[in-house]
Amino acid sequence: MFKFLFNLKRFLSSFFVLAVFSSAAQTFPDRPIKLVVPAAAGGPTDVLARFVADGLQKSLGQPAIIDNRSGAGGVIGARFVASSAADGYTLLFGNTATIATIPATSKSAGYDPRRNLVAVAKVIDSYQVVVVRPDLPIKSVSDLLTYARAHPGKMNFGAVGPGNLTHLSGELLKSRTGIEFTTVHYKSGAESLNAIIGGQIDFAIDNIGAVRNLVNAGRLRAIAVTSVGRKPEFSDLPTMAEAGVPNFVVTSFFGIMAPADTPNAIVSKLNLAINEGLKTPAFQSTLLQLGAQAAPDTPDRFRQLIDEEIRKWTELARSSNIDVN
């Protein structure tokens, strides 16, 4: 009898929780939504997030407020959202770093996107470009590998801090080709690229938005893209696979995450609203300037991408002894 009453109590409790969640999903949203941006105001990430917030506001009829929480490479903002209420009113505007590379390479990140967060919507896809000093006799990936093997450990590669995607791209190149070079870390991508222009370092792998104008001006030489297929901005550039480096794909992405246990109905409503906002001409125009493209998708497929990215970078971190604390 006692066991029956205990199970009945547990059933009724679960039923009550589900009823509350169902009611909340039906009325969601009935107050402003907070979009946490783990970067400073005014930068590219902040600009993109404001477009997404504007789309949310128009689709859902409630204000979407930007909350800039920069610091620790995005960790501070991600931790905040991971510990927030799972009600759909606090969201993370995450990127490859906060959603994949930091959790994969740092034991002290303090959150796991697969356990503490839930995928809501993928927003943007972008890619990296391999760039070298124009004065070097390197006009292809084959030339780069030949030159590096002829000067083992003497080439300098620019990156933005341990665990950053620029750093991991270089480590992936080492892993896939066996070449040796010295990684020099800078405070920003701009500093790294300026160091190539100034002759202090030899090459880097950085985002299309950061390198495009410099390449077009002849200040950097682009030799390959890291995407799956060729890109219209640099249609003459081969992918790394086409250039002879198989299994080398590095994409950068932005997406919206919510605290774990956010009801599926709320996640679905947010996903539809965000995807609708990605269609606006103003947002599309901004993305073109950054060399990126809108990437609307389902929460499930976005979650699969996150799983794949974390697995890839975790394997690289282990094999290359990368431990960012």
Across-strand partners of 203?
132, 157
- The pLDDT tens digits for 152-182 are 999 999 999 888 899 999 999 999 999 999 9
Q: Quickly state the pLDDT bin for 292 (edges 50, 70, 90).
A: confident
Say if strands 182-185 and 156-159 run parallel, antiparallel, or are unpaired. parallel
Q: Quickly state the pLDDT bin for 115 (edges 50, 70, 90).
A: very high
Question: Quick check: 1 pLDDT over 60?
Answer: no
Q: What percent of the chain has pLDDT over 70?
A: 92
- The pLDDT tens digits for 8-58 are 555 555 455 455 555 567 789 999 999 999 998 988 888 889 999 999 999
Tokens found for residue 254 = 């932005």
270-294 average pLDDT score: 85
226-233 average pLDDT score: 92
First-to-final CA distance of the chain: 53
- Listed as own residue / partner, the contacts of 227-231 with beta carbons closer than 8 Å and 24 or more positions apart are 227/127, 227/251, 231/127, 231/291
130-138 average pLDDT score: 97
Catalogue all structural domains in the chain, each as residue range(s) with its CATH number: 2-125+252-319 (3.40.190.150), 127-234 (3.40.190.10)
pLDDT at 20: 52
Helices 44-60 and 281-290, axial angle in degrees (round to 10): 160
Q: How many CB atoms lie within 10 A of CB 299?
A: 21
Return the SS3 of 90. Answer: strand
Prior bond of 259 cis (ω within 30°): no
DSSP assignment of 98-146, as one string?
A: IIIIHHHH-TT----HHHHEEEEEEEEEEEEEEEE-TTSS--SHHHHHH
Query: What φ, ψ does residue 305 adopt, rounded to 5°?
Result: -60, -45
pLDDT at 22: 53
113-123 average pLDDT score: 96
pLDDT at 151: 95
Q: Quickly state the pLDDT bin for 86 (edges 50, 70, 90).
A: very high
- The pLDDT tens digits for 62-75 are 999 999 999 888 89
For residue 229, give Cα distances in angstroms to 179, 181, 235, 258, 286. 24, 27, 10, 31, 22
H helical segments located in the chain: 2-27, 44-60, 75-82, 96, 102-105, 113-116, 141-150, 165-177, 189-197, 208-216, 264-277, 281-290, 299-319
pLDDT at 134: 96
